[in-house]
Amino acid sequence: MVMLAPYAALMLFCGFIPLLVSIREVANPSWINLEGSYTTLFRILKDFRVVPDLKHALFLLAVFVPFTMVAVLAVSLLLDSTPVRGNTLMRLIFILPGIASGGISIMVWMFFLGRHITWDGGNVQWLIAGIAFSSGAGSWIVIQYGSLRSIPHEVIEAARVDGCNRLQLALQIKIPMIARYIGYMAILLTAGAIQIYAEPALLTGWGLTSNWWSLNQVAYSYAFQTADFAGGTALSLDMLLPSVIIGIIFVVRTDFLKRDSYQ
């Protein structure tokens, strides 16, 4: 209980209480719904910016999420299966980009690309996906490498005795045994793609003409530029709902919370 107390306190004051306040805020009057009700959750979706921004989020889900997962697993498996000198140094190198904030990553990217970019719908989404990948993949490589190292050595040796080569060992033994951690990564990457904010918001200072490229930017616009807190809160809750549903399905349909990792 002593170990759980700090986490429980943070979850209560930074998670549940703000969520309850947000749910209450949605019912307050706004210029979208002058009478104020929970129909704001649905009315906010009629904003002309929602559909284009939803397409941007779907692009990230279709490109950024699967590419990041494949790249992270590939590099993690290579690190785990190749006993070379400097393995610890390599892990440090991979985690360094994750230490840098999103703002630093954008500055690095824009330094190489140059400020005078002709922005269009195509290169913006690829650039944002690239920035998100470069700043987050390294940390996930270290996490998945740690999950691979938790596989019992006896299991690996038994598979080798049975004739598994490195590819069979990776696909048939290692990946199934860390499936729960792969699912956890997929949930967080999905939530990050839907709720992306820092990358497009900071790119507006480098010539990106749209200040509502993502759904989070639209929610910010409602809350802090037009003083419509009910509308901004409603859109934020709409973005939260898919992540919550995916998380519940993941916990209920998998053995992620079981103590024994290898049942």
pLDDT band at 260 (very low <50, low <70, confident <90, very high): low
**Cα separation of 183 and 63, whole Å?**
17
Find out if CATH 2.60.40.10 is the number for domain 38-253: no
Return the higher-pLDDT residue of 217 and 86: 217
pTM comes to 0.82
- Hey, what amino acid is at 122? G
Summarised one tens digit per residue, pLDDT across range 175-226 is 999 988 898 898 889 988 998 888 888 887 776 667 788 999 999 999 888 8
Half-sphere exposure of 194 (CA within 13 A, CB side): 17
- pLDDT > 90? residue 114: no
User: Which of 13-17, 99-103, 165-169 is least confident?
Assistant: 99-103
- Rg of the chain over CA atoms, in angstroms? 22
**Cα separation of 198 and 202, whole Å?**
6
Domain boundaries, the chain: 38-253
- pLDDT > 50? residue 263: no
Summarised one tens digit per residue, pLDDT across range 30-68 is 777 777 888 888 888 988 999 999 999 999 999 999 999
- pLDDT > 70? residue 247: yes
Summarised one tens digit per residue, pLDDT across range 122-174 is 678 888 888 888 888 888 888 898 899 889 889 999 998 988 888 899 999 99
In 3D space, the residue among 153, 156, 204, 147 whose CA is nearest the CA of residue 180 turns out to be 147
Q: How many residues does the chain have?
A: 263
Greatest mean pLDDT range, 34-48, 52-66, 81-95, 245-259: 52-66
